Amino acid sequence: MKLVTAIIKPHKLDAVREALSERGITGLTATEVKGFGRQKGHTELYRGAEYVIDFLPKIKLEIATATHLVEPIIETIVEVAGSGKIGDGKIWITNLEEVIRIRTGETGEEAM
């Protein structure tokens, strides 16, 4: 079992969710986050004053999945969320030791 974590641009969330759903990936968690990487923020003009925006709004997706579904998930996110420009985001994969469904007590892949 794996946990796929992706940071994407906010306006890409609906398209990514729909594309994952079409591939049979039904569960994910989305969280509004702020951060920066190589993009290092940007400046904005508001009422004639310039402001430095250090932390940019992003969406953090977390998908607990079976190991064999990791590659299709990555391919879908890269295809849909990628624009080829700086700030598209990151994906990382971590191992999951255990998953437990609270309602039924099921464990492992049956709990996902």
- pTM (2 d.p.): 0.85
Q: What is the pLDDT of residues 18-44, one digit of tens each?
A: 999 999 998 999 999 988 777 666 666
Q: Which CATH number fits domain 2-111: 3.30.2310.20, 3.50.30.30, 3.30.70.120, 3.30.9.10?
A: 3.30.70.120
Give the CA distances from residue 46 to residues 10, 51, 54, 55, in Å, rounded to whole numbers and listed in that order: 22, 7, 15, 17
* Per-domain residue ranges of the chain: 2-111
Spatial contact of 59 and 32, defined as CB atoms under 8 Å apart: yes
On the 0-12 / 13-18 / 19+ scale of CB atoms within 10 A, 27 is exposed
